[in-house]
Structure 1
Amino acid sequence: MDNKLVREDPLTVGSVAKRCGVKVSTLHFYESKGLIKSTRNIGNQRRYNRQVLRRVSLIKAAQKMGITLSEIKEKLDTLNGKTAPNQEDWQRLSMHWKDSLNERIQSMQKLRDYLSGCIGCGCLSMDACPLYNENDKLATIGNGAVLIDNLAVK
């Protein structure tokens, strides 16, 4: 059989899932979110262009970095209809995410460093709270764990 013909044959959902190391349901989910696209054959079964392998790999890599699917989709939508991102696309996308990741890392380091302290939840009920929230003073700052939220900006 001609190798070129084989490479252009569309892939089944099962073969894409196996090659990418994801579950079939993950591919269905990605497709429902507009991250990948498939066509349907005469039997109404999904078929994927081989370039989807690179796109799924990019999605997985970005997710491992903590990038949300909505952020990934936003950037993939800038590829002007390209099915598979190339190295230049990855460089551009990853540079955008680098600043966001650095901010997240700093925030997590601060959270780690202050984890054993008071989070400023405003509970008034903890006898051992290192920061007694007398007269609910923290309510003027905001709702929820306001000291944790403010760590990111300190």
Structure 2
Amino acid sequence: MSHRKPLSQGLSIGDLAARTGLAVSAIRFYETHGIVRPLRNAGGHRRYDRSDLRRLSFAMIAQRLGFPLAEIAEQMAALPEGRAPSRADWGRIAGGFRMKIDARIAALERLRDNLDGCIGCGCLSLDRCSLYNPGDIEGRAGPGPRRIMGAEN
């Protein structure tokens, strides 16, 4: 149940679309996932808080970084309703994403550092190849290219 007061003004969905670059249908899609929660004015039209600009922008950036929408929505559910999120509110969300981003950076660095020696080598040096897996020893720990991608793949 929302504790937000009805808006007499606020941003229309068209205003929000113009400011974010999103299609109206995309804003409605984000709404169904709880990223934004518009109120209805007396005429029944959606009205958005200015803070919804930041919520949508954050969701768009997080999606570009590969985070699934469900995870973004889960994190953003902790943001307050009825007021713009504070620096501390955003800081709490950023902390959760920071650890995951750092893990992705580390995985990308491992991939970069290990794969460049493998591409084009023709596997003439199987003892040093990150993909070589004699007897499928790595398969006991789980699927995928575990040496390059690490255990989280």
Shorter-normalised TM range? 0.5 to 0.7
Q: Residue in 2 aligned with 1:33?
A: 33
Where do 5+ consecutive residues of structure 1 fail to align? Answer: 1-6, 120-127
Q: How does 1:1-40 map to 2 (within 5 A)?
A: 9-40=9-40
Q: Residue in 1 aligned with 2:4?
A: none
Q: Does 1:99 align with 2:99?
A: yes
- Would the alpha carbon gap of residues 103 and 41 (structure 1) be closer, same or farther in structure 2, given more than 3 Å must change? same
Task: Map Cα deviations across residues 83-111 of structure 1 (whole Å, 9 max, x no partner).
Answer: 53222211222133222221211111111
Provide the rounded CA distance (Å) in 2 between the counterparts of 1:16 and 1:41: 16
Q: Residue in 1 aligned with 2:79?
A: 79
Q: Does 1:70 align with 2:76?
A: no
Provide the rounded CA distance (Å) in 1 between the counterparts of 2:151 and 2:117: 12
Give the structure, 1 or 2, with the largest relative contact order (CA under 8 Å, sep 6 or more).
Answer: 2
Q: Residue in 2 aligned with 1:122?
A: none
TM-score calculated relative to the size of structure 2 = 0.67
TM-score calculated relative to the size of structure 1 = 0.67
Q: Residue in 2 aligned with 1:88?
A: 88
Letter in 1 for 2:57: S
Structure 1 stretch displaced more, 15-24 or 68-77? 68-77
Q: How does 1:113-152 map to 2 (within 5 A)?
A: 113-116=113-116, 128-129=122-123, 130=126, 131=129, 132-134=132-134, 136-150=136-150
- Superposed displacement of residue 10, structure 1: 2.7
Q: What is the SS of the residue equivalent to 1:84?
A: coil
Q: What is the SS of the residue equivalent to 2:77?
A: helix
Report the identity percentage: 37
Q: Do the aligned residues in 2 keep the contact of 1:107 with 1:151 (CA within 8 Å)?
A: no
